Amino acid sequence: MQTQILGYPRIGSQRELKKVCESYWASTTGQKSVLQVGRNIRRENWELQKKLGVDIIPSNDFSFYDQVLDHSLMFGAIPQRYNPVATKEGNTELDLYFAMARGYQKDGLDITAMEMTKWFDTNYHYIVPEFQKNQAFRLFSTKVIDEFYEAKQLGIVTKPVLIGPVSYLLLGKEKEAGFDRIDLLKNLLPVYIDILTRLQSLGATHIQFDEPFLVLDLSEQEKQAYQAAYQQLRKAFPELKFVLATYFGALQDNTALAVGLPVDVLHIDLVRAPEQLDEVVDGISVGKTLSLGVIDGRNIWKNDFENSLTIINSAIERLGKNRVWIAPSCSLLHSPCDLELEKNEEVLTAEIKQWMAFAKQKVAELTTLKQLINEENSAAVKEQLVRNKEAQQSRKSSSLIHNVEVKNRTNAIKQSDSERLNTFAKRRILQQETLNLPAFATTTIGSFPQTPEVRSWRAKLKKGSLNQEQYDQLIAIETEKAVRWQEEIGLDVLVHGEFERNDMVEYFGEQLDGFTFSQNGWVQSYGSRCVKPPIIYGDVARPVAMTLQWTSYAQSLTSKYMKGMLTGPVTILQWSFVRNDQPRSETCNQIALAIRDEVVDLEKAGIKIIQIDEPAIREGLPLRKADWKTYLDWAVRAFRISASGVQDETQIHTHMCYSEFNDIIDSISAMDADVITIETSRSQMELLNAFADFKYPNEIGPGVYDIHSPRVPNKNEMVSLLKKAATVIPKEQLWVNPDCGLKTRGWDETKKALIEMVEAAKTMRSN
Ligand SMILES: Nc1nc2c(c(=O)[nH]1)N[C@@H](CNc1ccc(C(=O)N[C@@H](CCC(=O)N[C@@H](CCC(=O)N[C@@H](CCC(=O)O)C(=O)O)C(=O)O)C(=O)O)cc1)CN2
Ligand SMILES: [Zn+2]
């Protein structure tokens, strides 16, 4: 029995990649150091996996920004608008690559970035491939080949990881009418063949194809594409061992398809979908190996060895040891790097830490499981099993986890707790009277630039070189500056800027019972941006108000409306590492009650507009349609519980980004927020159609500019987006705002862009 890894975190255990990329973008370091950091991270990852005893180690799981974008560059799927960047003297392939990811606004060029969206149900974002009708593909970037060679030079023969051809096409988007992207398969396969030819000649023996779409609902045509693609690849490479990786769910009705594809190893996710084991084992043909994803790649809890051994042994009984591999459930991209770096017991106590495993520890667990199976039962290995049992037992019986009051309160939630007092139609009249806002009211989504300076104050507070009072003073000044500036440029509804928050989820987690934290448990979210998801280990409660002080302070500075700014229960749940000992819905209700109390406190303090962000509500949607309703019912209800403790006059906003709303618009509507702000600019208002078709009754702020790119939009382009919006949504319902918060931007570009945005709103009013 062998072990494999599908992918390893690539940010570096000290976020080296983030740091060097950001310096490169700021022109404070050269390309050489970027490439060097990349090489270092790859080497460390390979050598670590080797040292920890992994049999099949991946390559090409590294990326400077995003693995899907890597593939677009590899296949030469480079939108034409980047030609000037590609041909400009002095620009390298990496410059072209970053231009596609982030847009390009220099040397007199002004080119928008490619769209970004969520990677399945994770908080990772990928760059969406753009396809034209007669899209041609050719081998452009040789990264996968170079990295295989690089590892080989280090003495490690790796398994190159490719996104499979069908999933790659399905991840993309048609940029003109008149074709279906799946029909591009025939153009694409020759490039795969070219790549595999080169890899094989360099000595590759195994190739991993990631085909996560196999756990989604597939059309007949897509199923046929799978057959066609893998038969053609198999025919071209009878010798190479193909590892087909599925993850994030069960194969279900695609089981027959998946087990029938001409590959050598099939990987399945047995953490998300343990129930699929029997059916897959039944179906898999002689000669094929099954890779069991038994270690959770999406959470930080220690593996339960006894449970895993049962699963593995049951597969071995029927397939034999030679036809079974074991692995983490999915790429470890979604796990933090190394628990050993967590040394501060005041942050993460020893009791809770012993229940956890990060990427490196998961790799070690994998080897231990293999040793236990292969009966390399040295005393040390047996000892591991005993200690693992103790850790599981300690968690089950810990007094830290349960809070009777919280359980009683969630059990007592009534229907009326999730309902506003009156319908939106009635509330709207009252809110208009109270608030008296202009048409095309302008606002922002909450955060203003988290400059290195602001972050450094927090770092100093942690280190003790600033005390709480000094820190608060600095934040107060920054907040006041932001308030004054918003007044000056004439925004209608102001925000306090979120300067006091490290992250919109972690900040709340830090103030809630039942949460703990890591100091260095970073996970890539997109590009160089990382999150440090809080860890929910027990029942959640709010001991004291969380945002009252800063919101009230900001409101006291101005006679304009200050929006209260909260993160909603579904998003806090979705962006945390959650308990696996109770249903997610239960944890979500506990959080909802905590947020509800905060909303009520803000209202009491005179805050008239309160935004409850739910950017992750779409992301949490199950991958299979059959499971949607159950999820949407509890998720929408949790949001409504958090929002319904207030009077009709209090205006509740919500905000979402990266959301394909078409298929869940009724649930979005059922959230019954008075105003929803959404991300629409990168898709040119396309997303609004769902709201228009549904005749969405409440107010909407479609984002008029992309905040993920440093590019500054001008007034005219925002006016034209707003005009486009006004053709599908009655203008009385429209707000004007950016796509999302501005924390990742600098002040210079933020100021310029918002001044243009306010001007755009004025133009709309005068039309
Ligand atoms: N959780 C979450 N998920 C989300 C979003 C989000 O905002 N939060 N937004 C969407 C897009 N994703 C995003 C994810 C991360 C960031 C982001 O800005 N991340 C920051 C880190 C934010 C943070 O936690 N900052 C901390 C720690 C900052 C830090 O790095 N400190 C330095 C020290 C700084 C110094 O000495 O000056 C260090 O620890 O080394 C703070 O401000 O306190 C980053 O990567 O740079 C933005 C968007 C979707 N998913
Ligand atoms: Zn957002």
- Asked if residue 452 has its Cβ within 6 Å of ligand 1, the reply is yes
| Ligand 1 nearest-atom number relative to CA 743 | 18
Ligand nearest to the CA of 615: 2
**Would the pLDDT of 377 be above 70?**
no
Tokens found for residue 183: 């029909």
What are 625-641's pLDDT values in tens digits? 999 999 999 999 999 99
- Reported confidence tier of residue 326, pLDDT bands at 50, 70, 90: very high
Output the CA 501–ligand 1 centroid distance in Å. 10
Residue range 463-512, pLDDT digits in tens? 999 999 999 999 999 999 999 999 999 999 999 999 999 999 999 999 99
Query: Is the pLDDT higher at 722 or at 686?
Result: 722
Kindly give, in sequence order, each residue whose CB lies less than 8 Å from that of residue 766, ignoring residues fewer than 6 positions away.
Answer: none
Structure tokens belonging to residue 227: 């057959």
Model confidence at 767, pLDDT cuts 50, 70, 90, reads confident
Shortest-distance Cα residue to atom 34 of ligand 1: 456
Sequence-ordered list of residues with C-beta below 8 angstroms from that of 242, at least 6 positions apart, any chain: 206, 207, 209, 230, 233, 234, 262, 263, 264, 265
pLDDT band of residue 380 (cuts 50, 70, 90) is confident
* Neighbour count for residue 416 (Cβ, 10 Å): 9
**Would the CB of 50 count as within 6 Å of ligand 1?**
no
Instruction: Provide the angle, in degrees to the nearest 10, between the axes of the packed helices 584-604 and 628-643.
Output: 20
Which ligand is the nearest neighbour of the Cα of 572? Answer: 1
Atom of ligand 1 nearest to the CA of 533: 1
Residue 241 has pLDDT above 90, yes or no: yes
Residue 556 has pLDDT above 90, yes or no: yes
What's the pLDDT at 661? Answer: 83
Please state, in angstroms and rounded to a whole number, the distance separating the CA atoms of residues 313 and 490.
67
In the numeric block, the tokens 């030469």 are attached to 76
pLDDT at 708: 83
- Pocket lining: 505 vs ligand 1, CB cutoff 6 Å: yes
Give the integer Cα–Cα distance in Å for 738 and 681: 8
Amino acid found at 530:
C
Ligand 1 centroid to residue 503 C-alpha, Å: 6
**Token pair of 602, please?**
């803000």
- Which residue has the CA at smallest separation from atom 11 of ligand 1? 525
Task: Calculate how far, in angstroms, residue 510's C-alpha sits from the geometric centre of ligand 1.
Answer: 15
Is residue 450 within 6 Å of ligand 1 at its C-beta? yes
| CA distance readout (Å), 718 to 188, 678, 708 | 37, 15, 16
Beta bridge partners of 206: 241
With a 6 Å cutoff on the Cβ, whether 123 touches ligand 1 is: yes
When pLDDT is averaged across residues 165-182 and rounded to a whole number, the result is 97
* Ligand 1 contact, 503 CB (< 6 A): yes
| 116, two tokens | 């970004």
What is the tens place of the pLDDT at every residue in 106-153?
Answer: 889 999 899 999 999 999 999 999 999 999 999 999 999 999 999 999
CATH of the domain spanning 424-766, picked from 3.20.20.210, 3.40.50.300, 3.40.50.10420, 1.10.150.120: 3.20.20.210
Ligand 1 pocket, 502 CB below 6 A?
yes
Catalytic residue flag (residue 125): no
Q: How far is the CA of 254 from the centre of ligand 1 (A)?
A: 38
Query: pLDDT by residue (tens digit) across 219-234?
Result: 999 999 999 999 999 9
Q: Does the annotation list 498 as a binding residue?
A: yes
Mean pLDDT value of segment 298-323: 98
β-pair type (529-531, 609-613) = unpaired
Q: Which residues contact 211 (CB under 8 A, 6 or more apart)?
A: 164, 166, 167, 226, 244, 245, 246
Mean pLDDT of the chain, nearest integer? 97
Ion ligand 2 — residues with CB < 5 Å:
615, 657, 740
Please indicate if the annotation marks 529 as binding a ligand: yes
Contact 514, 572 (CB under 8 A): no
Joined together, the tokens standing for residue 131 give: 């396809």
- CA nearest to 133, candidates 180, 187, 171: 180
Gap from CA of 446 to ligand 1 centroid (Å):
15
Probe ligand 1: pick from 502, 503, 682, max atoms within 8 Å of CB?
Answer: 503
* CB of 530 shorter than 6 A to ligand 1: yes
Looking at domain 2-79+114-338+349-397, which CATH architecture does it have? Alpha-Beta Barrel (3.20)
Of 637, 597, 593, 630, which is closest to residue 410 (Cα–Cα)? 593
* Cα 143 to Cα 331: distance, rounded to the nearest angstrom: 19
| Cα–ligand 1 centroid distance for 532 (angstroms) | 8
Stretch (H or E) spanning 670: helix 665-671
Residue 525 Cα to ligand 1 midpoint, Å, equals 9
* Of 125, 206, 653, 708, catalytic: 708
11 lines ligand 1 (CB under 6 A): no
174 labelled ligand-binding = no
Kindly state if the Cβ of 171 falls inside 6 Å of ligand 1. no
First to last CA, the chain: 71
Confidence bin at 686 (pLDDT 50/70/90): confident
pLDDT at 438 over 70: yes
Q: Where do the CATH 3.20.20.210 domains begin and end in the chain?
A: 2-79+114-338+349-397, 424-766
How confident is the model over 709-715, as a mean pLDDT? 90
118 labeled part of a ligand binding site: yes
- Identify any residues that bridge with 439 across adjacent strands, giving them in sequence order: none
- Structure letter (DSSP) for residue 723: H
Ligand 1, atom 46, lies closest to the CA of 529
Q: Annotated binding residue at 21?
A: no
